[in-house]
Amino acid sequence: MVTAVKETTVVRNDLDSALLVRAYRVMLLARATEDKLASLYRAGMIKGGVFLGKGQEALSTASSIFLQKGDIFGPLIRDQAGRLAFGDTVLDTFRTYLGSAKGPMRGRDGNIHRGRPREGYYAMISHLGALVPVVAGGLYARRLRGETGVVGVTSIGDGGTSTGAFHEGINLAAVEHLPLVVVIANNQYAYSTPNSRQFACADLLDKAAGYGIAGFKCDGTDPVASLETLQLAVQAAREGNGPQMVVATLLRLVGHGEHDDAGYVDAALRQANVGRDCLEVGATQLIGSDLATAEEIAAWTKEAQAEVEAALNIAQREKGPDPADEDWRAISTERLVDGHHDLEDE
Amino acid sequence: MVTAVKETTVVRNDLDSALLVRAYRVMLLARATEDKLASLYRAGMIKGGVFLGKGQEALSTASSIFLQKGDIFGPLIRDQAGRLAFGDTVLDTFRTYLGSAKGPMRGRDGNIHRGRPREGYYAMISHLGALVPVVAGGLYARRLRGETGVVGVTSIGDGGTSTGAFHEGINLAAVEHLPLVVVIANNQYAYSTPNSRQFACADLLDKAAGYGIAGFKCDGTDPVASLETLQLAVQAAREGNGPQMVVATLLRLVGHGEHDDAGYVDAALRQANVGRDCLEVGATQLIGSDLATAEEIAAWTKEAQAEVEAALNIAQREKGPDPADEDWRAISTERLVDGHHDLEDE
Amino acid sequence: MSVTYLEAIRAAQEKALTDDPRVFIYGQDVGAFGGAFKATKNLAAEFPGRVMDAPLSEDAIVGLAVGAAIEGARPIVEMQFADFSTVGFNQIVNQAATLYYRTEIPCPIVVRLPSGGTLGAGPFHSQSMEAVYAHYPGLVVMTPATVEDAYSMMLEAVAIDDPVIFCEHKLLYYHLKADKLPDTAQPVGKARIARAGRDATVVTYSAMLHESLQAAEDLVEDGWQIEVIDLRTVKPLDTDTILASVARTGRLLVVGEAWPWGGVNAEVISRVATEGFGLLDAAPMRLNARDTPVPYHPDLWAAHRPTASVIAARLRQLLTQ
Amino acid sequence: MSVTYLEAIRAAQEKALTDDPRVFIYGQDVGAFGGAFKATKNLAAEFPGRVMDAPLSEDAIVGLAVGAAIEGARPIVEMQFADFSTVGFNQIVNQAATLYYRTEIPCPIVVRLPSGGTLGAGPFHSQSMEAVYAHYPGLVVMTPATVEDAYSMMLEAVAIDDPVIFCEHKLLYYHLKADKLPDTAQPVGKARIARAGRDATVVTYSAMLHESLQAAEDLVEDGWQIEVIDLRTVKPLDTDTILASVARTGRLLVVGEAWPWGGVNAEVISRVATEGFGLLDAAPMRLNARDTPVPYHPDLWAAHRPTASVIAARLRQLLTQ
Ligand SMILES: Cc1ncc(C[n+]2csc(CCOP(=O)(O)OP(=O)(O)O)c2C)c(N)n1
Ligand SMILES: Cc1ncc(C[n+]2csc(CCOP(=O)(O)OP(=O)(O)O)c2C)c(N)n1
Ligand SMILES: [Mg+2]
Ligand SMILES: [Mg+2]
């Protein structure tokens, strides 16, 4: 059982530079995608809520970028970037928000509730914390089948740490010594609720010892720090050291959803380190390390925006599901469908 | 926020000797009551299960003996002793097991599911962990009413620490800075499940820091240590230092219920310190401190047994509830009772 | 001046806080933020210390309410969405609902459930859980369909000594309006004849009342007079009012937004069939949502739940049977 | 040689573990101890690493099962008592039950619920939760009443690709016996005519089947022939078999042990009233448990649930109506 708490520092050379660039371009793509979602929302073109991860792209990208084919990723609300890094596409993002029948959820579920579970990309339900034991269960089954070296990553917010599901899930993963990495994005608020009304521990990482698992913390506004930390955590899990908890500090730079102006966020936090935009931090890091020029970054941004436009163009032309074609059944075993559909004959 | 972890040592003089004697006599009474319950069970005179706290009397007594009128006590399965120390009676114990209409549960609920909530003595439901937020809620209401200096104590087992309810309840109590003492009786097993399949932390007390609350640990087989520890914890809560977690190590010296021979318990544990009988430890302590002689203890034991016999005699003569007299309603507002009782006219 | 369904709920909570010092509100984001739907707007400022943000812990929130109720308080807890009450489920059905029966201590808590489907809300922000709670002994389940009822029933929910599951329909929050808050109210537990009729009885509740009223209106041109009953509370269920209506009309359609298996509709039909069999001139009918999770896409959603036109069509069937 | 209902469940799990390497069992004390009721006795030793003690975490247990199912495993999870599934409720109704509809990935898990009342078990070790789960889309709810069904339906529960809530009745565990395990079985989803009759139909399931059969037997001396239908699964509900029986008898009594509001009984009567109204010669009747928590005292308990004599009395009423 590993219980050491490692505070990582920026050791830029540990990461290969191609990875840094790749991560940064995922962040850019996520930001461009979400900017577009925000304007679609404002234009009334998306039904239901839009929940963005602006400011959390670095951490989210880091969460999944070290995963390999066969690994499991269970993203949450603010993980547009991590989703893309794991193989989700901008097209499927728009398809899901717009309810395209061609999207992975076929109009049945929307927005952030998407995934392709068969590809290790789990689809969250809304209930916070509920995904933790599910990812643990995926890992459990893999191990039972004799697969080794598999890792599962899931993320959660400061608010989500207060759920019973989070507690039970991590504890179970610890007992089973599963290769699960839980990334806690401490963005200071759960909807409008500040950390002071959410937990009383000095540091969320203090929870790791209570589960007997390893803990890491990092500055979630810093792409390099986030990448380095997650690299260590994923590696530790892959090497058989059991669950790993990563606590990252940052701020969500948008509302809880696009309907929310986040007026409750303390202005001092916005000004503080925690309120930095990870995209700006990342740009400085890339330029400072001679991995990119400002012009290159501007070009990448344009490329990302173009990719987003192209995907949106496709998604917008796709049809939603046709209710008349739906078979309206919630189970797969056709002979066991309860034959009592009151709306059937209308 | 207090996060210090205090390991208590035996400082006998801190406790007044009358208290020690009183505690010991409660332990004796609890043991005598439970011995009788066990034989009633074996004789087939109790319907349903019998769940005893043999070996846990010292800790349980310590849990409630420092509480005052107006405090709240939310006992769990193994708290016969703590119940008695808080004001429950042997008579009500038997009444509840035997289903007497005069008992506090009037035959509607049985065995350990008893209480007198209006007197601060809460009645557990079976779902483990579920009582933690309820006791917190009682304290919350008291504070809202302006009452100060109130303390609430509740207890839970090693198994119960794995429940979401435990986690949510303690965390909420910590956020609200409530005067709640949670006593974790780590008796090494949850039913047949050993600690190794229950948690992976090095010590359950490692959880305290994760909630930002104070922690204490003690040898639950040692009456003096248990009393000293709980005295500190209750006092700290009363003084406004927020929730206190006490982790005590011990072994249940009976089966999970009387139907269970506890064959799964590791023989080495039975032989170890953790397997000591707290009544024997207490006797040695009392005699060694010149607070009692062996003869006195034998006389107290007899007295306890006599009290138990007398109570049983009364309870056995009392009637159970008469189904014909029951009003069969689950809410108090008569006009809102749903008037559809299918069994009504039989 | 007009007042919305949501404002009525807010006003009732404000009045309860004003009139009774034992009342407090506890729930996620209900404090300074005023709640996800603003049902507690400004209340935290008006009543310092009595309208508090809770941690993201539905089980503990309800547990806290039960403990506070034991000590004589009258907590109102808000679930952010009805759907999330599943993680506070145990405290509701096993702790709150059994307290009075077991201990004779009543449990005066109100659990507010923002319920029902809205556009694009999807499987986990659309559920109607009234039937699940009504199945359990020990709970009162209110399902107000009007601004007036939202107000007066919330006051009553706080006033009565038993746990109340208060199912407010999100679709009504902003759009449903009344001229003013009511001064008087029908007693809780009694259904209301929302529209008198002669030819058939529609029994319904919550948002489906409005679809049903629309359907009844649509049938006027064909000469049909449809009676529409708003249940108001689904537990207790006012069987007498339903039976009296069916005695007049001889025909019954029950309409609800929840899933079909064993919900309010099944209970209503079962009561009429068992207690008022002779009153029926034709087989009773029911309309529920379909037996799948509530879909996200607006077109699927529209086909998932009953609407006025579906109700009207079904009524025509019923009337010509 | 004879085999009990409990042994049948154990044997079916053993066979499932033997036949299908994807099957594993996870639950509190199911390992070396063999489970609180011994439904997994010796299985941990027989199938090392595939029958595991779980932490006291119902939510995580079900969550783990869903994750494992996504990866192609076929977990069986045991709740120690049905009543404790309330704390795993969210994972059952929102995670497991929605997975297929949302993602097209089936969720082949079995959740075993030791259900129903027994002597002195009280409010929290006696519950019958089948109606709560049946209300939710996405679940199959099995309620075996015989040793043969306990065995064959458990095999089927593991075999099908959807989440199954397997409600086993604790009262039947040790006392209900059969000569041997069955080789063949009626398909799951079909009800069974447990006793053929002519004068009235009793629809029932689980332990109440045996009370109902006894009542039917008691009425023979009066010359009545009662048909008794064992539902076997309550979701799906085999409406056809029920309607066919009512078509023959014209009279219907539904008997269940769960709470009255909106349970299996309401659903059955509602289906017959809506789809087979013309078949009924008299008002249908139902018998449920009373609408309170399940009481502890044996006398209260006996008066809380239907028994053979109450069923017989109600049948006499029905027959002379
Ligand atoms: C169990 C549960 N309760 C309530 C909600 C409603 N809700 C959605 S997001 C949210 C805040 C989440 O905060 P946090 O976990 O910190 O994540 P963040 O939004 O900050 O990324 C809440 C309360 C929910 N989804 N699940
Ligand atoms: C939520 C829940 N799940 C399962 C049970 C069944 N159960 C009753 S006692 C018990 C073991 C409890 O172990 P622990 O918490 O260590 O307390 P101990 O019995 O050792 O005192 C279990 C699993 C329960 N009561 N509640
Ligand atoms: Mg947050
Ligand atoms: Mg224990």
**What is residue D280's three-state secondary structure?**
coil
Question: A328 and C120 in contact by Cβ < 8 A?
Answer: no
pLDDT given for residue A88 in this prediction: 98
Residues 6+ apart with CB under 8 A from C48: none
pLDDT given for residue D265 in this prediction: 97
Nearest ligand 1 atom to alpha carbon A160? 15
Distance CA A26, CA A308 (A): 12
Q: How confident is the model at residue B340 (pLDDT cuts 50, 70, 90)?
A: low
DSSP state of C20: -
CA of B163 to the centre of ligand 4 (A): 13
Q: Are C270 and D270 in contact (CB under 8 A)?
A: yes
Residue among C78, C5, C86, C17 nearest C45 (CA): C17
Residue among C50, C240, C8 nearest C146 (CA): C8
CA separation (Å) from A197 to A200, B285, B292, C53, D69? Answer: 8, 45, 50, 7, 36
Which is more confident, B339 or B201? B201
Backbone Cα Rg of chain A: 20
User: Is D169 one of the catalytic residues?
Assistant: no
Choosing from D125, D169, D210, D304, the catalytic residue is D125
Measure A169 CA to nearest chain B CA, in Å. Answer: 9
Q: How confident is the model at residue B339 (pLDDT cuts 50, 70, 90)?
A: confident
**Model confidence at B7: pLDDT above 70:** no
**pLDDT tens for each residue of D154-192:** 999 999 999 999 999 999 999 999 999 999 999 999 999
Q: How confident is the model at residue B13 (pLDDT cuts 50, 70, 90)?
A: low
**pLDDT tens for each residue of B318-328:** 999 999 999 99
**Model confidence at A190: pLDDT above 80:** yes
**pLDDT tens for each residue of B142-179:** 999 999 999 999 999 999 999 999 999 999 999 999 99
Measure B262 CA to nearest chain D CA, in Å. Answer: 10
CB contacts, 8 Å: A191 with chain C: 28-29, 33, 36, 80
Residue among C212, C220, C210, C110 nearest C161 (CA): C110
Give the full edge-to-edge strand order of the sheet including D226-230.
D192-195, D226-230, D200-204, D252-255, D285-287
**pLDDT tens for each residue of B18-64:** 999 999 999 999 999 999 999 999 999 999 999 999 999 999 999 99
- Report the residue from C24, C63, C72 with minimal CB separation from B130: C63
- D123 interfaces chain C, CB cutoff of 8 Å: yes
**pLDDT tens for each residue of D88-103:** 999 999 999 999 999 9
In this prediction, residues A33-42 reach a mean pLDDT of 98
CB contacts, 8 Å: D95 with chain A: 125, 127, 130, 134
**Neighbours of A (≥3 Cβ pairs closer than 8 A)?**
B, C, D
In this prediction, residues A11-36 reach a mean pLDDT of 89
**Model confidence at B344: pLDDT above 80:** no
Distance CA A181, CA A178 (A): 9
**Model confidence at B345: pLDDT above 90:** no
CB contacts, 8 Å: A143 with chain D: none
DSSP state of C254: E
Question: D274 and C261 in contact by Cβ < 8 A?
Answer: no
The CATH number assigned to the domain with range A17-343 reads 3.40.50.970
**pLDDT tens for each residue of D136-147:** 999 999 999 999
pLDDT given for residue A9 in this prediction: 37
In this prediction, residues D199-206 reach a mean pLDDT of 98
Percent of chain C with pLDDT over 90: 99
Percent of chain D with pLDDT over 70: 100
pLDDT given for residue B11 in this prediction: 41
In this prediction, residues B296-305 reach a mean pLDDT of 98
pLDDT given for residue C199 in this prediction: 98
- Report the residue from B127, B136, B144 with minimal CB separation from C24: B144
Q: Are D30 and D56 in contact (CB under 8 A)?
A: no
**pLDDT tens for each residue of A110-122:** 999 999 999 999 9
pLDDT given for residue A1 in this prediction: 30
Q: Are D301 and D116 in contact (CB under 8 A)?
A: no
Distance CA A250, CA A182 (A): 16
pLDDT given for residue C321 in this prediction: 85
Nearest ligand 1 atom to alpha carbon A126? 25
pLDDT given for residue B55 in this prediction: 98
Q: Long-range CB contacts (< 8 A, 24+ apart) of D279-283?
A: D279/D243, D279/D246, D279/D247, D279/D250, D280/C277, D280/D246, D280/D250, D280/D251, D280/D252, D281/D250, D281/D251, D282/C277, D282/D250, D282/D251, D282/D318, D282/D321, D283/C273, D283/C274, D283/C275, D283/C277, D283/C278, D283/D321
Please provide the average confidence, as pLDDT, over all residues in chain D: 98
**Model confidence at B181: pLDDT above 70:** yes
CA separation (Å) from A113 to A62, A99, A104, A170? Answer: 20, 12, 10, 22
Q: Please, what are the domains in chain D? A: 3-178 (3.40.50.970), 192-319 (3.40.50.920)
In this prediction, residues C73-101 reach a mean pLDDT of 98
pLDDT given for residue B207 in this prediction: 98
CB contacts, 8 Å: B177 with chain A: 200
**Model confidence at C155: pLDDT above 70:** yes
The residue whose CB lies within 8 Å of the most ligand 1 atoms, and thus the one to mutate among A191, A196, A260, is A191
Question: B336 and C160 in contact by Cβ < 8 A?
Answer: yes
pLDDT given for residue A139 in this prediction: 98
Distance CA B276, CA B253 (A): 9
**Neighbours of B (≥3 Cβ pairs closer than 8 A)?**
A, C, D
- Report the residue from C60, C73, C87 with minimal CB separation from B141: C73
DSSP states of A54-117: TT-HHHHHHHHHT--TT-EEE--TT-HHHHHHHT--HHHHHHHHHT-TTSTTTTTS-TT---BG
Rounded to the nearest 5 degrees, what angle is found at the Cα of B97, between the Cα atoms of B96 and B99? 60
**Model confidence at B343: pLDDT above 70:** no
In this prediction, residues B309-337 reach a mean pLDDT of 97
- C256 interfaces chain D, CB cutoff of 8 Å: no
Which is more confident, B93 or B339? B93
pLDDT given for residue A14 in this prediction: 62
**pLDDT tens for each residue of A85-99:** 999 999 999 999 999
Distance CA A301, CA A309 (A): 12
